[in-house]
Amino acid sequence: MLELKDVRKTFNPGTVNEKTALNGMNLKLEAGDFVTVIGGNGAGKSTTLNAIAGTWFVDEGTITIDGKDVTKLPEYKRAVYLGRVFQDPMTGTAASMQIEENLALAARRGQHRGLRAGITSAERDEYREKLKILDLGLEDRLTAKVGLLSGGQRQALTLLMATLKEPKILLLDEHTAALDPKTAAKVLEATERIIEKDRLTTLMITHNMKDAIAYGNRLIMMHEGHIIYDVRGEEKKSLHVKDLLQKFEEASGSEFANDRVMLNK
Amino acid sequence: MNIMNLISALPGAAAQGLIWGIMAIGVYITFKLLDLADLTVDGTMCTGGAVCIMLMLNGWSAGPALLVAFAAGLLAGLVTGVLHTTFGIPAILAGILTQLGLYSINLRIMDNKANQAINVDKYDLLISLRYIKNVPVYKNTILIVAVILLILIALLYWFFGTEIGAAIRATGANLHMSRAQGINTDVTKILGLMLSNGIVAFASGLYAQYQGFADINAGRGAIVIGLAAVIIAEVLFGKLGKNFALKLGFVALGGVVYYLVLQLVLWLGLNANDLKLVSATIVAFFLALPRIKDRKKGVADNA
């Protein structure tokens, strides 16, 4: 479903700020894979997601989605294959537009946008039903401006927008990191429900090691721009946080350093 | 200071204000919806009038001439849009470049003259400062401009509710999100700039007919007047309604308020040469007003 082959990316080449963010990144996802991604600061987790999304072009290597080489495709064209939820709740929605308008924009991902109505009444009914799944009371506030919503509500809405048109790949970039624990749990719950319902191929970055073990069928650990540990199935299920820390030290020869990492066991 | 002088000047000021209100709606599209400051309009506010008057002097009737003026504005917006998106020039600079280039083009359109007059008695003008008083209702300039304004607002209300219109609004609201939802933000920015400048050039065509001439300096400081109307609308009428069509109407009324205030200070004995200074001051005041209000409420300065 998704394949990254020897992807390399260096930011600010030739300057004092030169930073090799991806250094021979290889990754292959089968359809229906739900992969959690962990790693220290600057390991290249978000960079990997941005490379897939086409925020910029990679220096070397190829990216293939569902058999199609998208390496040279601009971000807005790749969007047809991808659903994205960002770390910052402000990034995924348009604050000055209504809830239903945001959803209608997402419903037209990958379609030609012409002079047809931006939203129809049939759509409104559909959105009302879908918003009920989130269980946040948003179904009664279709015409409210998204700027009025809380961070958790905005992330849940972004999640719904990302999956409204079933994406080939769902990219979640620490999408619960900015939320309080209770809201984070609720959004994560909704995430799992939606992924299971549509059997979505998913890449989820998380700073919570426990979540990384609990969710998905596969876990990868990144360090210095490539994967240093890749585990799936039964072996993954039996992991403990201390195993992950040990693996990290073995593979990288240093201690796990992440400002936000949560080690709760 | 005869109060009758002021009163008799008010209808003219209202008509001019409405025409500039149409222009301000163009500015609103870039400044508010797309979140871009586009200075191209200082050029297009001359181009539209130049095109319109020259065509009419060559026998065209007002309607088609205004449509060609609109098209000329679209082209100017296209140039700025391509400079900004395809070539990555900052929007303000891209606008200034187009505006500067337009100065020469405007002179060419006007047969290398700085001013081209059109005689209201010889040509069938749609509007004129002579059609304010003592004319049949259907020829009244204020009424005609008001009707044009309402049609324009209705069209824009429809357009910004369509898929592509919503995509343009989304681009201004959140660039990241727009791209993630598959919107080609370069195209939406270009479309917004084109539409904005088309409307400004259309207003320019109306203004030139109103005054009875096209002038190379017609657009000087136009962006300031347009912004003034947008901001006056926000400050004075912002709380009266959130509906998009209403907001556009308020922007047009903002233009009227601007011209009425201008008329008032002229009546108070201001030298006409000082008008630009007064304009700049009025706009600076209204631009500063939201911040001043915030300060009074004790809101933290986040500049």
- pLDDT score recorded for residue B4: 85
Q: What is the largest CA-CA distance in chain B?
A: 62
Contact A76 B183 (CB under 8 A): yes
Of B162, B163, B185, the CB nearest to A76: B185
Q: Could you count the other beta carbons within 10 Å of the beta carbon of residue A229?
A: 18
Q: How far is A264 from chain B (nearest CA, A)?
A: 33
B9 domain residue, yes or no: yes
Distance (Å) from the alpha carbon of B187 to chain A's nearest alpha carbon: 11
CATH architecture of A2-94+150-252: 3-Layer(aba) Sandwich (3.40)
The residues pairing with A220 across neighbouring beta strands, listed in sequence order, are A37, A230
- Residue B120 near residue B128, CB atoms below 8 Å: yes
- Give the span between the Cα atoms of A70 and A76, in whole angstroms: 11
- Chain A nearest-CA distance from B165, in A, is 8
Asked if A8 contacts A23 with a C-beta cutoff of 8 angstroms, the reply is yes
Strand ranges inside chain A, DSSP E: 2-11, 19-29, 34-39, 60-65, 68-69, 82-85, 169-173, 201-205, 218-223, 226-232
B303 domain-assigned: no
- Nearest CB among B165, B173, B183 relative to A95 is that of B173
Is residue A159 classed exposed, middle or buried when 0-12, 13-18 and 19+ CB atoms within 10 A define those classes? buried
| Inter-chain CB proximity A108 and B182 less than 8 Å | yes
**A76, B184: Cβ pair inside 8 Å?**
yes
Residue B170 lies in a domain: yes
In chain B, which residues touch A (CB < 8 A)? 159, 161-167, 169-170, 173-174, 176-185
What is the nearest CA distance from A211 to chain B, expressed in angstroms? 26
What does the block give as tokens for B82?
A: 């391509």
Query: What are the per-10-residue average pLDDT scores of chain A (265 residues)?
Result: 94 92 94 93 92 95 95 95 94 95 95 93 94 89 94 94 94 93 90 93 93 92 91 87 85 69 58
Spatial contact of A1 and A201, defined as CB atoms under 8 Å apart = yes
- Chain-wide mean pLDDT for chain B? 93
Closest CA to B11 of B208, B248, B210: B210
Interface A–B counts its CB contacts (< 8 A) at 84
In this prediction the ipTM stands at 0.90
- Any residues with CB less than 8 A from the CB of B134 and at least 6 apart, and which? none
B41-57 helix and B3-28 helix, angle to the nearest 10 degrees: 110
Asked, for residue B222, whether it belongs to a domain, the answer is yes
- Sign, CA dihedral B86-B92-B93-B99, equals positive
Q: Do B162 and A116 touch (CB under 8 A)?
A: yes
* pLDDT, position B302: 46
**Weakly modelled stretches of chain B, pLDDT under 50:** 301-303
- Interface contact flag, B176 A115, Cβ < 8 Å: no
Give B36→chain A minimum CA distance, Å: 16
DSSP 3-state assignment of A202? strand
Whether A106 and A161 have beta carbons less than 8 Å apart is answered as: yes
B169/A79 Cβ within 8 A: no
Structural contact between residues A21 and A225, judged by C-beta atoms closer than 8 angstroms: yes
Residue environment code for A84-122, b if the CB has 16+ CB neighbours within 10 A, otherwise e: bbbbebbbbbbbbbbbbbbbbbbbbbeeebeeeebbeee
The Cα of B29 is separated from the nearest Cα of chain A by a number of Å equal to 15
Name the residue among A109, A111, A115 with its Cβ closest to that of B162: A115
Domain count, chain B: 1
User: Quick one: tokens of B161?
Assistant: 């509710």
Select from B38, B30, B54, B36 the least CA-distant residue to B105: B54
The answer to whether position B16 is within a domain reads: yes
Name the residue range of residue B212's domain. 3-297
Which residue in the block uniquely carries the two structure tokens 């002021």?
A: B6
Residue count of chain B, please give it: 303
8-state DSSP, A228: E
Q: What is the CATH number of the domain that holds B260?
A: 1.10.3470
Contacts of B177 in chain A (CB under 8 A): 91-94, 105
B-chain CB neighbours of A104 within 8 Å are 166
Using alpha carbons, select from A219, A214, A189, A181 the residue that is nearest to residue A202: A219
Which residues, in sequence order, are CB contacts of A55 under 8 Å at separation 6+?
Answer: A75
Shortest CB distance from A118 goes to which of B165, B174, B177?
B165
- Residue A232 φ then ψ, to 5°: -145, 175
Closest in A79, A95, A114 to B179, CB measured:
A79
- Give ∠ CA B117-B118-B124 in degrees, rounded to 5: 170
Residues of A in contact with B166 (CB under 8 A): 97, 101, 104-105, 113, 118-119
